[in-house]
Structure 1
Amino acid sequence: MHAVSISGTGVFTPEQTISNAELVAAFNAYADRQNALHADEIERGEREPVPQSDEGFIVKASGIESRYVLDKKGTLDPEIMHPVLPERSDDELSVMAEMALKAATVALEKSGRTAADIDAVICAASNHERAYPAIAIEVQQALGINGFAFDMNIACSSATFGIQAAADMIRSGSARAILMVNPEICSAHLEWRDRDCHFIFGDVCTAVILERADLATAPGRFEIVSTRCLTQFSNNIRNNNGFLRRTREGHMQDRRDMLFRQEGRKVFKQVVPIVIDLILGHLADEDLKPGDLERLWLHQANKGMNDMIGARVLGRTPEKGEQPNILQDYANTSSAGSIIAFSKYSDDLEPGALGVICSFGAGYSAGSVIVRKAA
């Protein structure tokens, strides 16, 4: 069995951003239009008015202040309220593959590797823009990688599950090095017209290079101590569309049940204990204690959720830097969130430092990866 290292990471961030102030202005304009349009029904008590949103509500509910998106114009248009991405022909590179290439290029450079060194590609993400052919195979071809590729989807845990899948293949000897990418176009499955969730998601792509530890040479690499994955079925977070919505005319299917929805309070109450037990059990299995950890890179969904998990795992309030949050700038980027945090806040650790990359979400699903900074 081979030991496995994470030798490089990469993050692609779209150029466009939407602040809370911009988002609230667009949503409230939409709410005013809807309430005026249905004023008679509202007055007769046959229809509930669309409530107003505000910046304070968003920050208190999530800790989010801004988000990156692929299309700002359509998302903020009160008549559209979703991203409008131009249709691409089958001969053009897909949106997800384009994002993945940009993140992968950075990860390859950091790891000191080229496409010739990679044996496989995994595209692990919450929403894929098509059923097949696999986005991963498209990325493989675009980069000129030999070997094999496949897509996988475990919602917000896709990246950590992807790390485990890649690590297991490298441990067994079926691959020397694997590129794992997480192109998340979360803006396309979010219901921007729902006050309770219109602020949650953003777009981004992350990439991770995993390889045999005895072959890794990049400075700042991390050895994977072990991985754990857990799933438990729940309808409390659901997306029935299951794929990226793209329109040329700027119209979308007007069915609330087909887009992202969640029972937020239930998710918080049920998922937090699952994640805490997973991390603590994982540490115990490796004869490690919470005090041995120097960093927690958690899924970036909700600041309150992360703060509680960090405090329960460590047995105290995390000190500044021990549990870095990035969702104030990126919002929830599904599976990519914990990898963004890891990529941005890991270089400062000394050799031998231990940390946990953990993601969790719909499924329910949760993945835990214990890593140690290499000498």
Structure 2
Amino acid sequence: MTTRAVVRGVGHYLPERVVENSWFEKRIETSDEWIRTRSGIERRHFAAPGETTSQMAIEASKAALVDSGMGVEQVEAVIVATSTPDLTFPSVATMVQEGLGLRTGFAFDIQAVCAGFVFALAQANALIVSGQVKTVLVIGAETFSRILDMEDRATCVLFGDGAGALLLEAATGTGENTDRGILSADLNSDGSYREMLYVDGGVSTTGTAGKLRMQGNPLFRQAVSKLAATADAALGKAGLTHDDIDWIVPHQANIRIIEGTAKKLGLSMDNVVVTVQDHGNTSAASIPLALSVGKAKGQIRDNDVVVTEAIGGGLAWGAVVIRW
């Protein structure tokens, strides 16, 4: 017998403000057609003034708890993946812990940019499999609208704000890939690609939050090949093949990257959960948001094999295979 980290609940939160592509047409040299053609994005959500990453994370967590039918007192650990924390410190996770009324357990943040949620899932799985805890709340939450250069038309139209959360619980499995829960993870990084995606500020350099900078075309080329490779690696670790996949739930960065990765994996877009048109790129929040939407729509069902994969600044990339 073996221990598996099984998904018990999923939920998400989106800010009330919806920003259509037309909003950018009035402010910079761009068009709805240009944005849709190059990214697939039609709209995104922006946090309201004063609305923070931790507040959104708390709301997504509450939704995941409701979905799970479990009480908040059963949560033993909180992990938040984010690159846009409320403060330099303390962590967003401790703010979520307080906001949910938890006075026990532990909480910490993970920063791997758009790959953050995949990295957080892998760490949560390790905590559960090693017996450290029985339940972990894993959250991706971002307010990327706060670090965008609204005069840079290549980047400001791509990103949005939001949060998603999963509640994982330890369960006994057979050790076979027919078990429910996280079956495998594959994590990677290469700091030599740092200039492709970064923020030009920080505590130890400029003393400011800085703005997002991106080399779009080189990053696109790296994304498709690395995402397909990490998905293959994770499937191999789980003893599964492309034919076993029910759903790919990718990082929602760009529809062309999503389509290119699906093609490399030999899968139809009918097997891909796509939310980029409505949310834009919400960085670490995009996968849990898509998982929550996919479940709510009846796409993702019990015992489905789900492959999540993401790439972000660092570069950092990885994939997790889950039997739902």
Distance in 2 of aligned mates of 1:168 and 1:354: 20
Specify the code of the residue in structure 1 equivalent to 2:218.
Answer: K
Q: 1:333 is matched with which residue: 251, 260, 282?
A: 282
Counterpart contact for 1:127–1:153, Cα < 8 Å: no
Secondary structure class of the residue paired with 2:136: strand
Q: Is residue 295 of structure 1 aligned with residue 255 of structure 2?
A: no
Whose Rg is larger? 1
Any residues of structure 2 matched to 1:1-375 within 5 Å, and which? 2-27=3-28, 52-71=29-48, 85-86=49-50, 95-145=52-102, 146-214=104-172, 223-233=181-191, 234=193, 235-242=195-202, 258-313=210-265, 315-316=266-267, 318-320=268-270, 322-346=271-295, 347-373=298-324
Specify the code of the residue in structure 2 equivalent to 1:236.
Answer: M
Counterpart contact for 2:259–2:269, Cα < 8 Å: no
Compute the displacement of 1:319 (Å): 4.2
Specify the code of the residue in structure 1 equivalent to 2:288.
Answer: I
Distance 1:350 1:148, change over 3 A: closer
RMSD: 2.1
Distance 1:231 1:355, change over 3 A: same
Distance 1:120 1:349, change over 3 A: closer
Q: Show CA shifts across 1:82-139 (max 9, x none).
A: xxx34xxxxxxx8222111111111011111112101111111122131211221121
Compute the displacement of 1:26 (Å): 2.4
Distance in 2 of aligned mates of 1:99 and 1:356: 25
Secondary structure class of the residue paired with 2:112: coil
From the two aligned structures, give the one with the greater strand fraction. 2
Counterpart contact for 1:7–1:222, Cα < 8 Å: no
Distance in 2 of aligned mates of 1:365 and 1:264: 16
Distance in 2 of aligned mates of 1:209 and 1:128: 21
Compute the displacement of 1:222 (Å): 5.3
Compute the displacement of 1:187 (Å): 0.4
Compute the displacement of 1:240 (Å): 2.6
Residue ranges of structure 1 left out of the alignment (5+ in a row): 28-51, 72-84, 87-93, 216-220, 244-252
Distance 1:319 1:99, change over 3 A: closer
Distance 1:241 1:4, change over 3 A: same
Secondary structure class of the residue paired with 1:301: coil
Specify the code of the residue in structure 2 equivalent to 1:110.
Answer: D
Specify the code of the residue in structure 1 equivalent to 2:200.
Answer: N
Counterpart contact for 2:227–2:317, Cα < 8 Å: yes
State the number of aligned residues: 310
- Identical residues among aligned pairs (%): 27
Compute the displacement of 1:325 (Å): 1.1
Compute the displacement of 1:214 (Å): 4.2
Give the TM-score taking structure 2 as reference length: 0.90
Q: Show CA shifts across 1:6-28 (max 9, x none).
A: 1111111111111111221122x
